[in-house]
Amino acid sequence: MVKLDDIKKECKSILEEGKVKYIVGYKRNNNYYMSIPAFIEKIEETDQLIWDPTCVYNLVRFLRDEKLRKERQKTPDTRPIGVIVKGCDSRAINVLLQEKFIKRENVYIIGVACEKSGVIEKKKLRKKFNEKNIKQIEFGKDNNFIITTEKGKTTISAEEILAERCIECNNNTPVIYDVLLGEKVERSLSEHFRSLEKFESISTEEKWNFWKKELDKCIRCYACRSVCPMCYCDECIADSISLAVKPDTTAEEKAQKIRWVEKSPVSSENFSYHLIRALHLAGRCIDCGECERVCPVDIPLRYLNKKMEKEASEQFGYTAGLDPEKPALVSDFKDDDPQDFII
Amino acid sequence: MEEKFEPKIIAFLCKWCSSAGSDLAGVSRMKYPPNVVPITVMCSGSISPNYILSAFKDGADGVLVSGCHPGDCHYIKGNYYARRRITLVKELLEFIGIEPERFQMSWVSAAEGAKYTEIIKDFVKELEPLGPQNKLRSNL
Amino acid sequence: MQMILSKMNFSSWLKKLNSYRIFAPVKSGEVWSYELVEKPENIILDYPNTIIPPKKVLFPQREVLLEFESSSEQEIKLKEVIPEETPSVIFGIRSCDASGLAKLEKIFKGGFEDLYFSKRKNQTILVGLACNIPPSPDCFCTSVGGSPYSKDGLDILMTDMGDEYYVESVTEEGEKLIESAIGLFNDPEENVKKELEKIHLESEKKIKRYIKDIDKISSKLPEIFETEFWDKESLSCILCGICTYSCPVCHCFDINDEVICTFPLKGKRVRTWDNCQFPDFTMHSSGHNPRPDKASRLRQRIMHKFNYFNENCMELLCTGCGRCISKCPVGIDIVEVLEKVRVYEK
Ligand code: SF4
Ligand code: SF4
Ligand code: SF4
Ligand code: FES
């Protein structure tokens, strides 16, 4: 397991050398057992850093904020920012590089290997514990988790509260980094697409009933979109303006804009939003699970993206975020791509 | 007597092949059901999933995407890109519980008027038992 | 009017109210929300709190304001859609949410009367449930002028006394609701009244979060308007809509025309919730955005709640329900932000 001291040491040294402007990592939430994102600028602040199974956030999301901030500043500090990434998160960086949204020199990547563990899933945790009583969750030996409650410490086997996506993950080691902490260990806890199995045996109507019930709950808070490192479009079809208005956008252009999705949280609009989002993330989603985690009404969004991931992998042999030099899934084709369904 | 359900099909046809193919069917006076509203686009590669979803939203019972045969695209590669993209759309629609028959893709060249009429005939036949498509229809 | 209702009689009371539409917290999966209940006898009042506050019943997320249709080239017909609400009762409202509705009333029925809101509000009776145990570790109602058993905004307050509810009417409407089934209720004995007082006082002590010197913070806010404070505090914000949509008093909305058919023109003018955290909220049609970044948006949320509204209406636009703290996906904590405002030095 990666030692917290190693993370702190690395962060201290790059801050000391002035290599980075600041570092995005994890720190403790003062009132809660979860971690929260930490923005570390000063050497002494590195003591706040933590590394535990509650480090769920995909911090790559914040590279977009940094980019916007720089665009607004007249004389921006052009040094890179440091970011702590897990295996899945690192692939998000590759996607952003592939799409030329960021440059490699904009970011200093501190890769942390999950080895045989991963992060927790709150939904699973809640089934076993009263969240209010939890004080802390730590990595234990043999890939177990140690949970501290008011009553003391309990050890719980990883699979019981490990995020489903971690169980299915086969990129437990970062694929791009400036420094890698922890060890590269092979592991395959389970089938890569096991969570989709339950959809294979159900009928069309059952599928529809499932998704209708789930997506009708959506309140269109767009937390799923806001948290996603890949949802960086200036112009999202779901926004009421739905075009990036720049000073040189003409009145004509504004008037001609089509409204694909209305803001109303009704069934048809919710489906449009989520289907388009899933399609736009096909070949880009790296299954960090953030969208599903943040949804306030517990919509299992991950299945949509996972389904696209599965088709990309099985039909086109493509996995998102492995190689920034290769063309993206939908900007590429092979002569012999499957076409059995085409008449 | 109950009125027979007449499915409405929106067909996105590329200008260079499929649309020309449908024209050929027309000028050759081949018979096919009048259930289809053709929309000509420049290339099958230009069809955004938004088009497909909004057709379903506006009440299409079935949607057809049709382009030139592989290798024949006027823009060389458009239909190859379309093939990938449409595969994903198709898989996703099925995954959320839309009947697979409702969304189809075909290759129709400018000479294949007859093929076009067959596709439409079969499509209508497949849609009839399904009844109207209400799942994705706008409920604003 | 102060009465005792045995829990066994609760569903009989609800059955008597069959001329009303009844809303109550309903659980689906792990999520509670206020819904119209078909079978009131199934209502469970033992619930933490809903994700979305009861404002959604009176101020729905989507509301059709008017319908338009062009009958000929020259003429467009407009039809105003004013809600014809049947009398309703909302059961199980927490005190914080009830005071939220009272604040919303000041906004929607203050200087200008919003018919859509007020038609509903006038027909709705609010039955509250005191929080003997705070439903969330993030509750801080007592810091913002509320309490776990506050009657502000309610028509009736119920308190769970174990096998029975202590039912107090606050308004005439509430009294009528009790009287309509008076046979089910008993008069409380003196010792029960004492017991009630004890439960209420203890519930207050169980609130863990507290904002110190809220008045000072309120007046200090304008002084730090132009500082770096907001940049720092908003770093982790992802600009989603959770904190505002789940807030019992956030009330910003957007109005759009939803065109159903372009020829002949037909559609609806619709009001939907909107919020100050979305990047397009303040976007001008010129492309200029006066609140261009996260800092200015977090600042707006805090300023509106703890300063602007306070200056206009002499109260805070926050009820201490703690939802924005519990639900924020990145742990932004309004109580902590305010504490940092309190100690901030330029
Ligand atoms: S986070 Fe959940 S509720 Fe919010 S927009 Fe996404 S799916 Fe809808
Ligand atoms: S879609 Fe969800 S799981 Fe995929 S990258 Fe975005 S936030 Fe992560
Ligand atoms: S403060 Fe939290 S809940 Fe509010 S917009 Fe920011 S991230 Fe979302
Ligand atoms: S032009 Fe026909 S598919 Fe591209």
Q: What is the pLDDT of residue A189?
A: 63
Residue C236 has pLDDT above 70, yes or no: yes
Residues 6+ apart with CB under 8 A from A33: A54, A131, A134, A135, A136, A137
A47 to chain C, any CB pair closer than 8 A? The answer is no
Question: Could you tell me which of A162, A161, A183, A187 has the C-alpha nearest to residue A174?
Answer: A183
Q: Is the dihedral of CA A231, A232, A235, A239 positive or negative?
A: positive
Q: What is the pLDDT of residue C210?
A: 93
Q: Closest partner residue to A343 among B80, B87, B119, by Cβ?
A: B119
Q: What is the pLDDT of residue A256?
A: 64
Q: What is the pLDDT of residue A72?
A: 87
| Euclidean distance between CA atoms C270 and C38, whole angstroms | 27
Q: What is the pLDDT of residue A245?
A: 66
From B4's Cα to the closest Cα of chain A, the distance in A is 23
B99 to chain A, any CB pair closer than 8 A? The answer is yes
Of residues C1 and B90, which shows the higher confidence score?
A: B90
Residue in chain A nearest B137 by alpha carbon: A268
Average pLDDT in the C19-29 region? Answer: 91
Model confidence over C300-311: pLDDT tens digits?
Answer: 999 999 999 988
Residue A242 has pLDDT above 70, yes or no: no
Counting as contact any 3 or more CB pairs under 8 A, the partners of B are: A, C
Q: What is the pLDDT of residue A192?
A: 86
Q: What is the pLDDT of residue A241?
A: 65
Average pLDDT in the A25-42 region? Answer: 93
Q: What is the pLDDT of residue C252?
A: 96
How sure is the predictor about A234, in pLDDT bands with cuts at 50, 70 and 90?
confident
Q: Which atom of ligand 4 is nearest to the CA of B45?
A: 4
| Euclidean distance between CA atoms A267 and A211, whole angstroms | 10
Q: What is the pLDDT of residue B97?
A: 96
DSSP C63: E
Mean pLDDT of chain A: 91
Range name among A120-129, B86-95, C223-232 with the lowest pLDDT average: A120-129
Q: What is the pLDDT of residue B1?
A: 55
Question: Could you tell me which of A225, A69, A240 has the C-alpha nearest to residue C283?
Answer: A240
Tokens of C293: 């970044």
How sure is the predictor about A255, in pLDDT bands with cuts at 50, 70 and 90?
low
Q: Which atom of ligand 1 is nearest to the CA of A223?
A: 1
Q: Closest partner residue to C241 among A132, A221, A254, by Cβ?
A: A221
Q: Inspect the interface and report whether the beta carbons of A337 and B90 lie closer than 8 Å.
A: no
Q: Are B119 and A343 in contact (CB under 8 A)?
A: yes
Residue B38 backbone phi and psi in degrees, to 5: -85, 140
Question: Could you tell me which of C167, C183, C184, C166 has the C-alpha nearest to residue C175?
Answer: C167
How sure is the predictor about C297, in pLDDT bands with cuts at 50, 70 and 90?
very high
Q: State the maximum Cα–Cα separation within chain B, in Å, rounded to a whole number.
A: 51
- HEC sequence for A137-202: EEECHHHCEEEEECCEEEEECHHHHECHHHHCCCCCCCCCCCEEECCCCCCCCCCCCHHHHHHHCC
Please report residues of C whose CB lies closer than 8 A to that of B138: 260
Ligand nearest to the CA of C294: 3
| Euclidean distance between CA atoms A300 and A291, whole angstroms | 9
Looking only at the bridges linking them, the beta strands covering B62-67 and B9-14 are parallel
Model confidence over A164-196: pLDDT tens digits?
Answer: 999 898 889 999 999 999 988 887 666 889 899
| Euclidean distance between CA atoms C224 and C338, whole angstroms | 12
Average pLDDT in the C319-331 region? Answer: 95
How sure is the predictor about A254, in pLDDT bands with cuts at 50, 70 and 90?
low
Report DSSP letters for C253-314, one per residue: EEEEEEEEEETTEEEEEEEEE--TTSTTTT--TTS--SS-SHHHHHHHHHHIIIIIHHHHHS
Q: What is the pLDDT of residue A244?
A: 63
Q: From atom 3 of ligand 1, which residue's Cα is the shortest distance away?
A: A218
A266 to chain B, any CB pair closer than 8 A? The answer is yes
C133 to chain A, any CB pair closer than 8 A? The answer is no
Instruction: Report which secondary-structure segment, H or E, holds B36.
Output: strand B36-41
Model confidence over B9-29: pLDDT tens digits?
Answer: 999 999 999 999 999 999 999
A266 CB within 6 A, ligand 1 = no
Model confidence over C45-94: pLDDT tens digits?
Answer: 888 889 999 999 999 999 999 999 988 778 889 999 998 878 999 999 99
Positions of E strands within A190-264: none
A307 to chain B, any CB pair closer than 8 A? The answer is yes
Cα C332 to averaged position of ligand 3 atoms, centre (Å) = 7
Range name among A112-121, A242-251, B34-43, C279-288 with the lowest pLDDT average: A242-251
| Euclidean distance between CA atoms C77 and C67, whole angstroms | 8
Residue B50 has pLDDT above 70, yes or no: yes
Of residues C49 and B46, which shows the higher confidence score?
A: B46
How sure is the predictor about A293, in pLDDT bands with cuts at 50, 70 and 90?
very high
Which stretches within B28-106 are classed as H helix?
49-57, 78-95
Counting as contact any 3 or more CB pairs under 8 A, the partners of A are: B, C
Q: Inspect the interface and report whether the beta carbons of B94 and A210 lie closer than 8 Å.
A: no
How sure is the predictor about B84, in pLDDT bands with cuts at 50, 70 and 90?
very high
Mean pLDDT of chain C: 92
Q: Which residues pair with B13 in a beta bridge?
A: B40, B66
Q: Are C54 and C72 in contact (CB under 8 A)?
A: no
Q: What is the pLDDT of residue C75?
A: 85
Residue A250 has pLDDT above 80, yes or no: no
Looking only at the bridges linking them, the beta strands covering B103-107 and C2-6 are unpaired
How sure is the predictor about C323, in pLDDT bands with cuts at 50, 70 and 90?
very high
Average pLDDT in the C275-292 region? Answer: 87
Residue B35 has pLDDT above 80, yes or no: yes
Model confidence over C57-66: pLDDT tens digits?
Answer: 999 999 999 9
Please report residues of A whose CB lies closer than 8 A to that of B57: 268, 272
Model confidence over A36-58: pLDDT tens digits?
Answer: 999 999 999 999 999 999 999 99
Q: What is the pLDDT of residue A239?
A: 82
* ipTM rounded to 2 decimals: 0.94
**Which domains are present in chain B?**
9-133 (3.40.50)
Q: What is the pLDDT of residue C44?
A: 82
Residue A243 has pLDDT above 70, yes or no: no
| Euclidean distance between CA atoms B68 and B62, whole angstroms | 20
**DSSP-based three-state secondary structure for A220:** coil
Please report residues of B whose CB lies closer than 8 A to that of A331: 81
Residues 6+ apart with CB under 8 A from B49: A275, A276, A279, B85, B89
Is the preceding peptide bond at A247 cis, omega within 30 degrees of 0?
Answer: no
Average pLDDT in the C298-325 region? Answer: 93
Query: CB-side exposure of B96: number of CA atoms within 13 Å?
Result: 29
| Euclidean distance between CA atoms C186 and C13, whole angstroms | 13
How sure is the predictor about A210, in pLDDT bands with cuts at 50, 70 and 90?
very high
Beta strands across the sheet bearing C164-169: C31-36, C21-28, C88-93, C124-129, C156-160, C164-169, C2-6, C185-186
| Euclidean distance between CA atoms A321 and A44, whole angstroms | 34
Q: Is the dihedral of CA A211, A212, A214, A216 positive or negative?
A: positive
Pocket test for ligand 4, best of B14, B22, B65 (most atoms within 8 A of CB): B14
